Structure 1
Amino acid sequence: MAADLLGDGNVKVTWCLTIANISAPTAAELNAGVDLQEYITKDGLGISPEQAAVDNTALASRDETEDAGSVKYSIELTVKRKEVAAEDVGWNTLTDRTLGYLVVRRNMAHETAYAAGQHVEVYPVRCGRPNMQPPELNAAQRFVSKMFNHSTSDPDALVAA
């Protein structure tokens, strides 16, 4: 029996300011971005597709039926703060109303550079206002960055050369 595929250390999250083609971002574009996975809490990568239901019931139907409609992504990152301002990468990067691309690569060591042929998720987003979280005993200070997916995403993109 094969071992379970673990998430530990195998998720890379990158913030990019420019990507020419979200379905085929280049390795150079992605490697020029800001890696965020070391600042996001273990459970802090929240990307949820919400799919609308389309009523396709006919007048002659005796049952209500529906089909899959458009998809909206709810995206939130929970990010740890750093004591030294220059090292507070998450806070300094995910500022209110900043436009960019959130890129996620799963199932490969986060230290591995982006390369052609890798599967990634690309979300064109605008950052919302950082929401400082209440202090907790024995926990790092953190904030939540809600991101607004302002145009079509590609959760099945393939990195180009």
Structure 2
Amino acid sequence: MSDLLGDGNVKVTFCLTLSSVSNPPAAELNAGQDLQEVLTKDGLDISPEQAAVDNTSLASRDETEDAGTVKYSLELTVKIQEDDVDDVGTSTLVDRQKGFLAVRRNRPHEDDYEAGDPVEVYPVRCGRQRKQPPALNTAQTFKSKLFNYATADSDAVVA
């Protein structure tokens, strides 16, 4: 048995438009801005939070609940680049910018999106960039909270 490694095998792309959340076309994903090279190694934070629905009745003798709606919390930690041309994180994740965050796992990030690739797609609006305190021997970074404004598909397939 061997572990499935994430090293270099995560592609993160911000697209201004996608014609489908569940079946995004490869050409549209490949036209987006790749961000994985400017994210810190722990800078992709996608956390689903599921609400509990109380389904206890008057006749119940135990408190019971069921699975409710899901809300995604998304936050990126981005390394700020010296050269404005290379600073794609700062220029892409602009406050109030709407778009789609696409994440493909388990294939080399250098590979283009291809039909059949499993991908996560989150319709998002960017929050304000929050510059992080400077620290010795560390790149300057900012955090960008992304607001999931429409239904996401964490099990999408590239068309």
TM-score when normalising by structure 1: 0.98
1:104-136 deviation digits (Å, cap 9, x = unpaired): 000110011100000000000000000000001
Q: How much has 1:3 moved relative to structure 2?
A: 1.8
Map 1:9-158 → 2, pairs under 5 A? 9-158=8-157
Residue type at the aligned position of 1:23: S
Aligned length: 159
For 1:121, what is the secondary structure of its paired residue?
strand
4+ residue segments displaced more than 2 Å: none
For 2:85, what is the secondary structure of its paired residue?
helix
Residue type at the aligned position of 2:107: M
For 1:87, what is the secondary structure of its paired residue?
coil
For 1:91, what is the secondary structure of its paired residue?
helix
Q: Provide the C-alpha distance between the structure 2 equivalents of 1:155 and 1:33, rounded to a whole number of angstroms.
A: 18
Identity %: 69
Q: Provide the C-alpha distance between the structure 2 equivalents of 1:22 and 1:30, rounded to a whole number of angstroms.
A: 11
Residue type at the aligned position of 1:106: R
What is the aligned-residue RMSD (CA, Å)? Answer: 0.5
Q: How much has 1:150 moved relative to structure 2?
A: 0.3
1:5-58 deviation digits (Å, cap 9, x = unpaired): 100000000000111110000000100000000000000000000000000001
For structure 1, the 5+ residue unaligned runs are none
Q: Provide the C-alpha distance between the structure 1 equivalents of 2:9 and 2:85, rounded to a whole number of angstroms.
A: 26
For 2:72, what is the secondary structure of its paired residue?
strand
Q: Provide the C-alpha distance between the structure 1 equivalents of 2:142 and 2:123, rounded to a whole number of angstroms.
A: 21
Q: How much has 1:149 moved relative to structure 2?
A: 0.2
